[in-house]
Amino acid sequence: MAQQDTEHSVNEEPKESGEFIVDTEDCEARELAHRERGTSRPITVVGNPVLHKECKDVTEFGDELAQLIDDMFASQRTAEGVGLAANQIGVDLKVFVYDCPDDEGVRHVGHVVNPVLDELPADRRILDDSNEGCLSVPTAYASLARPDYAVVRGQDMHGNPIAVEGTGYFARCLQHETDHLYGYLYIDRLSKRDRKDALRQMAEGTPRYPVVAND
């Protein structure tokens, strides 16, 4: 997800606390370690087939997955994003990474493999219609209503079950990245008029990071 318009070891991952992982500790060191091991890759953009279909489940948890996550953190930093799904660098696997603040300014850093969003009870579905952007729709932004609280369940790079919760902007990020892995871009949730406007913004803008041109 775009910013608002405005050696792999177990102990490098956040500790668990109760049901949800703690992803707010040692953020700078953990993000830097991933990024320094990774290689930045160009970003796929709307129209690329890999972005418009459900990705494959991850079934192997080893060095290749760990390297992919490192590359995703490096790519996310190059593009100055707050979240990145694997298909945004052309990889057909259900993985996303994030380095995103919540509305209180608390930084969250982590990754989720095979993510599934919880269905929220009605009393938790408070909608926030803030602006949203996407690295795969560069330079475009649009208002999109999403719940201001989200829970994503999945696995970590070692295959351990994890759950991540977020509020505000971070909740939007969790929903946005999970959507990617099931073949949806945020513009797919817009009205026809707003989608057309977002694509116009993209056509008129110039990406600030390397992208994969669609043939």
Q: Tell me, what's the pLDDT at 121?
A: 86
Distance CA 207, CA 192 (A): 23
Tell me the average pLDDT across 72-101.
98
Eight-state DSSP code of residue 2: B
Instruction: Please provide the distance, in angstroms rounded to a whole number, between the alpha carbons at the two ends of the chain.
Output: 23
Provide φ and ψ at 130, rounded to 5°.
-70, 165
Query: Does position 41 have pLDDT exceeding 90, yes or no?
Result: yes
Percent of the chain with pLDDT over 70: 93
For the question of residue 177 being annotated catalytic, the response is: yes
Query: Does position 12 have pLDDT exceeding 70, yes or no?
Result: no
- At position 118, the amino acid (one-letter code) is D
Give the CA diameter of the chain. Answer: 48
Query: Does position 13 have pLDDT exceeding 70, yes or no?
Result: no
Q: How confident is the model at residue 102 (pLDDT cuts 50, 70, 90)?
A: very high
Output the six-digit token pair for 203.
């056509």
Whole-model pTM: value is 0.92
Domains of the chain: 15-205 (3.90.45.10)
Q: Tell me, what's the pLDDT at 122?
A: 85
Q: Tell me, what's the pLDDT at 5?
A: 59
Distance CA 167, CA 147 (A): 9
CB-based contact 206:139 (threshold 8 Å): yes
Helix 63-78 with 27-37: angle, nearest 10 deg: 110
Beta bridge partners of 150: 166
Residue 209: CB partners within 8 Å, gap ≥ 6?
Answer: 42, 43, 78, 79, 80, 135, 138
Closest CA to 101 of 154, 172, 14, 180: 172
CB-based contact 178:115 (threshold 8 Å): yes
String of DSSP letters for 120-145: PPGGG--EE--EEEETTEEEEEEE--
Q: Tell me, what's the pLDDT at 4?
A: 66
Distance CA 52, CA 119 (A): 23
Q: Tell me, what's the pLDDT at 202?
A: 97
Catalytic residue among 13, 31, 165, 177: 177
Output the six-digit token pair for 28.
């700078």
Eight-state DSSP code of residue 82: S
Output the six-digit token pair for 35.
């990024």
